[in-house]
Chain A
């Protein structure tokens, strides 16, 4: 074996090590929970499947997944992931991760302009948490409906440091508010999971055609 050949083999080994490094990183920290058919935006958020449609909300709940949890008036539904449990209380549906590290609630927001509802959410968060720090805010589409989201960090009354994301949505019948909270740094990928759950909300029209009445 010549010295040149040795060098080639050695360089190949270094390249192989680099490939192995990348593979290990992907294997350990890749998003194993995401499905291939979920469209993901550049900022890592999962878009609604109806984002490319003009309609806000859905007319019937016929196509809703089996793990969807509806509110009592069946105006909206949210998918309950495995290892989460759900609870409905009137117009509010709450989801809890079984290990207590994350929670998410959906309910009706203040009616009227979306910016007013967002300000309402912001002031409610400010009242409920300490050290509230809103790091991002922006518009998005949720189930084809215009929405605005805020995200940031806070400390709850029990002293837990939280990441949160709040969304107010101008739904087909009402304004809705969604808020997801998770303990900061508790689990890898939990941020993305909460984001996916938030974006799984579907809004429904009544049989009487509230959309027409509203428009």
Chain B
């Protein structure tokens, strides 16, 4: 009977220890990336990494004279496009348009006594001003946003038209960059430590560790109780 109880308790502990992380993983929605990361980690990438890096360096050296002129041309094209955009903005202003807000911090609500700003019968479609306080975000989003604005305006005759901003709003998700797995290090672009909520791996690791400790404690306690019971029974029998 004691052996059965001990076996049952052990089985329960092991079952909980194994099912706990699985349940937790399903609760948190960590279905895909964990498996992918584990798969990536198991690959012997490190052996291949060094030769590949050397080849990449060689290729970069060869391509360097070519890429620099291309970058210069891109900059020139951007400058020309910016000038055209400025001209368009001025024309829009002269025709009664209004510039958009350019501050990055959330605008506090007006004072309770203040009246809402004057109503505009037309949306701020002539606005071209946009800003990013953070250069990193600007680097990843501004170019894409500007492109979409241009294409939207060119194809629809300006934002705020009959079709509204749907195209631009719907395309916002294209600014998200995929997390890269490089060797044994997972690189999430621009992750900030102060707002990190814990990666899936770290959280699952803590969960597994907790369960292991708990399982060991329970097994030890169970064994101690059974052992003490046996000793007492033996003492009583003798």
Q: Using a CB–CB distance below 8 Å, which chain A residues touch chain B?
A: 1, 3, 6-7, 9-10, 13-14, 17-18, 20-21, 24-25, 28-29, 60-74, 77, 80, 82-83, 85-92, 94, 96, 98-111, 117, 120-121, 124-125, 127-129, 154, 156-162, 164, 166, 174-175, 177-179, 181-189, 191, 204-208, 210
Contact = CB atoms under 8 A, between A and B. Distances in A.
Given A14-B9, A186-B188, A191-B29, 6 more contacts: A6-B225, A9-B225, A14-B12, A25-B20, A96-B137, A184-B33
Given A14-B12, A103-B175, A125 B162 contact: no
A17 B172 contact: no
A189 to B, nearest CB: 7
A106 B174 CA distance: 15
Interface stretch (B67-75, B77-85, B163-171): B163-171
Nearest to B171: A128
A111 B30 CA distance: 39
18 contacts: A69-B107, A82-B195, A86-B106, A88-B130, A90-B100, A90-B130, A99-B189, A100-B177, A101-B176, A109-B165, A124-B170, A128-B171, A156-B176, A160-B177, A160-B179, A161-B178, A185-B33, A188-B198
B18 interface: no
Interface of B: 5, 9, 12-13, 16, 20, 23-24, 27-34, 98, 100-112, 114-120, 123-134, 137, 140-141, 145, 149, 159-160, 162-179, 188-192, 194-200, 203, 206-207, 210, 214, 218, 221-222, 225-226, 228-229, 232-233
The dominant DSSP class at the A interface is mixed
B232 A1 contact: yes
